[in-house]
Structure formats: C-alpha cells, structure tokens
Amino acid sequence: MSRPLEGKIALVTGASRGIGRAIAQRLAADGALVAVHYGKSKSAADVVVAGITAKGGAAFAIGADLAAKDGVKTLYAAFDKEVQARTGATKFDVLVNNAAIAPFATFEATTEAALDEIYTVNVRSPFLITQEGAKRLRDEGRVVFISSGVVRTPVPDAAAYSILKAPIDNLTKVLAVELGQRSITVNAVAPGVIDTDMAAAFARDPAAAEFVKSKQSLKRIGQPDDIAEVVGFLAGAGGRWVTGQVVEASGGTGLVF
C-alpha cells in the first residue's frame, strides 16, 4: 500500500467529525502523523484517533475552542507539546484549516453575536492558525483551506456563513504568493452539499436531498470521503505544482441555469 505522506506531520482542525474526520483518516492512511483537533468533544476526537491507530496509523487529539480569543494560542500550545514529545521538534508539513460553523439564519435574522462568532471561527482563526503555523511548516509543505460552494452560489438561509467563506478564497491566493517563496503550496477545496451534521438539513431530509441532486451533474449527495480524496491529492506529491487554486468538489452543482 502506498504511503505518500510517510514521515510527514499534519494538523487538521475540526477533525472530530464530518469532513475533518475523513481528512484526518485519509492523511493518516497516507502515512502522516495526524493532530486531530477538536473544539468541544474530546470523546469524539478520541474515537477518531482510536480508529486511525487501529488501522496502523498514528494520531493524537488536541483541544482548543477557536471561538475564544486565545483559541489559536491554546491550539499551538497543545500541538507543540505533543509533537515535541514525539519528534523532538515542533515542525510539521501539512496544515488543513477545516474547522468552521454554519448556523442557519437569514440576513435579517442574523444577530451581531452570531456574526462575530462566525467571523472568529471561519475567518480570523484560519488566518491566525496559518500565520502561526507558517513559522512551523517545513519548506515544501502544504496548506489546504476548506472553503465552500456557497462562495459561488450563496445560500440565503445561511447569509453570514455564505458571506464569510469568501475571504478564505482570497486568503488562499494571497498566501500562495507569500508562502510560495518557500515552495509551500496553498489551496482551498470548496465542497457542495456533503452528508455531515452541518449540512443535515439538505443532505438528510429526503425532499431537500432530491432538490440538491436536481441541481447537480452527478446525482448523489456527496460524502466526506469525496472531499478527503481531493485534500489527500493536494497534500501529497501529486499536488506539488498546484497552488493558489480553489477546487470546487460539489458534484457539478449549479453548472447551468
């Protein structure tokens, strides 16, 4: 079995469930030592770690509330401690910014508090996580952001989420130039509707799921592994000449009027 990330270290935020869990599992299967970040549920992260180790992979869990002002400092304090203990250094190779929240509320119904929280978790934290992570990333490393198809096709019932995913696409391009000087690639993956708790209103309601499929070229609801496969490519040697790109993985959602 090919293990293209053998000897590499990866940090995946929001990896205790959904897309993040699938990404952590994929990178571990490819040979990386994976830091499985969780925001609230240590038990869920521990299950992910146990599943990875049961299949011969290597992983550890780290907790940090990215909605908190000091969330990024907490994240790296835990990460540095764990990686230092295992490798003698704090360097790593792959950063996947996956953690996000997506409360459903229209523009009119979005409160100031909700807007601030979405901004903090979905924009501020990935920016600062990458800023701090760049100090630790090895040359020829990888940064992958999880964006969203809502940047191209906004969802009015998730107005703030739709608006605040757009900065991730621009940050991807800026950092591709900035970090390209060190041969670090920076890309984003933009999922469509994926069968996760976050998208349950679309993916798991039969009528809503049929509506989603009616908008797609590929007539099925996406699975977390569909996104993890794209991230795995970008994180591996095959993605070495791809940077500054937003790769939409949405089953061809909304390609025609």
Q: Based on the number of CB atoms within 10 Å of its own CB, is 31 exposed (0-12), middle (13-18) or buried (19 or more)?
A: buried
DSSP H helical ranges for the chain: 18-29, 42-54, 71-87, 112-119, 125-133, 159-180, 200-203, 206-214, 224-235
Beginning with the edge strand found earlier in the chain, give each strand of the sheet holding 58-63 in spatial order.
Answer: 58-63, 33-38, 9-12, 92-97, 137-146, 185-191, 246-249
CA-based nearest residue to 158, from 205, 100, 214: 100
Confidence band for 256, pLDDT divided at 50, 70 and 90: confident
CATH of domain 9-249: 3.40.50.720
pLDDT at 242 > cutoff 90: yes
Confidence band for 176, pLDDT divided at 50, 70 and 90: very high
pLDDT of residue 200: 82
149-160 pLDDT per residue, tens: 999 999 999 999
Structure-token pair, residue 181: 């000087």
Mean pLDDT of the 209-224 span: 93
- H or E element, residue 123: none
pLDDT of residue 235: 98
Answer for the pair 66, 13: CB distance below 8 angstroms, yes or no.
Answer: yes
State whether residue 145 is helix, strand or coil: strand
Mean pLDDT of the 25-48 span: 98
pLDDT of residue 203: 82
pLDDT of residue 22: 98
Handedness of CA 124, 36, 48, 93 (dihedral sign): positive
Mean pLDDT of the 44-48 span: 98
Mean pLDDT of the 170-195 span: 97
CA-based nearest residue to 127, from 112, 110, 116, 143: 143
What secondary structure letter does DSSP report for 158?
B
| Positions marked catalytic | 161
Confidence band for 1, pLDDT divided at 50, 70 and 90: low
How far apart are the C-alpha atoms of 9 and 112, rounded to whole Å? 38
Q: What rounded mean pLDDT belongs to the chain?
A: 96
Q: At what angle do helices 42-54 and 18-29 cross, to 10 degrees?
A: 30
pLDDT at 257 > cutoff 80: no
Domain boundaries, the chain: 9-249
Q: Based on the number of CB atoms within 10 Å of its own CB, is 76 exposed (0-12), middle (13-18) or buried (19 or more)?
A: buried
Share of the chain above pLDDT 70, in %: 99
Give the residue, 147 or 208, on which the prediction is more confident.
Answer: 147
pLDDT at 233 > cutoff 70: yes
88-143 pLDDT per residue, tens: 999 999 999 999 999 999 999 999 999 999 999 999 999 999 999 999 999 999 99
The gap between the terminal CA atoms of the chain, to the nearest Å, is 43
